[in-house]
Amino acid sequence: MTDSNAVEILIVEDNPDDLDMTLRALRKATVSNRIHVARDGAEALEFVFCEGPHDKRKIEDTPKVILLDLKLPKIDGFEVLKRIKSDSRTKSIPIVVLTSSKEQRDVVESYDLQVNSYIVKP
């Protein structure tokens, strides 16, 4: 049984302007889901895997979707993606990469790591 207060959207973004733009877009689309923000890859993994300051969460209460930047401090988005998709408890979480990178190798690597969608930020 999952917690009714479970986070439904996890946004992993270190740039305050990009975070604000994403939150504004979600509000404009009248998305009222519960949102949690992680500002680096390490914080995102702690949240998803219920470690550190998030050790009271239950791993079963996974986000319904993760919006993931690739260029992150501490642990980059590729490593976050790899770790989430390689764990049986979390691999089914849909992950959408939101990045400024138009590099073909980043797109290919993201899909190789089982990302669900790749969106280039405006």
pLDDT tens by residue, 36-67: 999 999 999 999 999 999 999 999 989 999 99
Beta carbons within 8 Å of 51's beta carbon, 6+ residues apart: 45
In this prediction the pTM is 0.91
Beta carbons within 8 Å of 5's beta carbon, 6+ residues apart: 34
pLDDT tens by residue, 62-108: 999 999 999 999 999 999 999 999 999 999 999 999 988 889 999 99
Contact 118/69 with Cβ under 8 angstroms?
A: no
pLDDT tens by residue, 12-31: 999 999 999 999 998 898 88
Domains defined along the chain, listed by start? 9-120 (3.40.50.2300)
Judge residue 100's burial from the number of C-beta atoms within 10 Å of its C-beta, 0-12 exposed, 13-18 middle, 19 or more buried. Answer: middle
Contact 100/46 with Cβ under 8 angstroms?
A: no
Compute the distance between CA of residue 46 and CA of residue 74 in angstroms, rounded to an integer: 12
Local confidence band at 1 (pLDDT 50, 70, 90 cut-offs): very low
